[in-house]
Amino acid sequence: MADFRPGTPDQEEFLRELLGAGYLIESGVPGVYGRGEAFERVRLGFDAKVTAASEEESPEHMVFPPLLPRRQMEDVGYLQSFPHLACTVFSFDGDEEQAAEQEHRAAAHEDWSDFQEMTDLVLKPAACYPVYPAIAARGPLAPGGVLVDAGGTYVFRHEPSGDPARLQAFHQREIVRIGEPETVVEWRNRWRDRSLELLRSVGLDAVPDVASDPFFGRSGRLLARSQRAQELKFEVLVQIAGPEPTAVASFNYHQDHFSAVYGLEMAADDGGDTTAHTACLGFGLERITLALVRTHGLDQEGWPAAVLAELGI
């Protein structure tokens, strides 16, 4: 199992405050918490702000469950880039005798993994993944492509940590753009700027940055360098419980990565390249909630009236 990464003293202290004030509820596993009313009120308030901004562009809505077909994880190369973060789903398919032995071991908190087999499902690592095959299944795209608001759904990263801003399960508020390369890049850059407005409107000191994904291993460092050099990924950072600011939103241009896997094409008739490009953006709703609590304090009644109004609280 992945090593637990302790939080800094500031992070651990902030976690204790969040648990004490009922924002989060201890589960016994780091990075997995229940959420109290105060937390959900803020999370859903910011979620609604993103929805309102997204609706200006009249997206199509699609929502996908937390489970992704394992085949998709295999096809998109997730295990090359992020094997350390991937979560797979196993289950039991034995007889009554094996079930009894499994239960016997489990009740004694001994190892019962021998009785579990890999299923054809994994946990969804990013909210945009199921969108690409769903759109590809429709055939070539009309000029201008498509815009999909994929809502705010749970995604999963296996990285147990004492930092409350590093959860194993969190809501990614996701929007996906598929179309001509220049359409997609323009959309991605516009939303990076739009997100700064949204985050600053609720009093967060948000700054943009060129970023890279947490690729695995030595070869991952090369990938990260290339990703930065091409400015494929932007993030917006906010100070939560430090020491470094934390990414609360990301804006990703995938070029033809997903199109090559799923055959996403524009219905162009001029004989040129018809490969569609894709981009996505994700707001980390839990991190934004934590940033708001860290910025404005545990007591929501004391938050600036303008911030409460923006969040509909």
Judged by CB under 8 A, the residue of 27, 139, 190, 210 near its own copies is: 27
Q: How many residues bind to its own copies according to rule CB under 8 A? A: 72
Cβ pair 299, 308 in contact under 8 A: no
- Determine the interface stretch with its own copies among 78-86, 173-181, 235-243, 299-307 (rule: CB under 8 A): 78-86
Residue 55 within binding range of its own copies, rule CB under 8 A: no
What's the one-letter identity of residue 99? Answer: A
Minimal distance in Å, beta carbon 296 to its own copies? 21
Judged by CB under 8 A, the residue of 34, 143, 297, 304 near its own copies is: 34
Please give the Cα distance from 167 to 158 (Å, whole number): 9
Please give the Cα distance from 158 to 301 (Å, whole number): 35
Distance of CA 279 to the CA centre of its chain: 14
In Å, how far are 13, 14, 286 from 294, measured between CA atoms? 12, 8, 12
Restricting to residues 126-165, name those near its own copies by CB under 8 A. 130, 133-134, 137, 154, 156, 158
Restricting to residues 105-124, name those near its own copies by CB under 8 A. 106-107, 109, 111-113, 116-121, 123
Residue 103 within binding range of its own copies, rule CB under 8 A: yes
- Determine the interface stretch with its own copies among 73-81, 178-186, 193-201, 259-267 (rule: CB under 8 A): 73-81
Q: What is the 3-state secondary structure (H, E, C) of 223-252?
A: HHHHHHHCCCEEEEEECCCCCCCEEEEEEE
In Å, how far are 11, 186, 267 from 226, measured between CA atoms? 31, 21, 31
Minimal distance in Å, beta carbon 291 to its own copies? 19
Restricting to residues 158-187, name those near its own copies by CB under 8 A. 158, 168-169
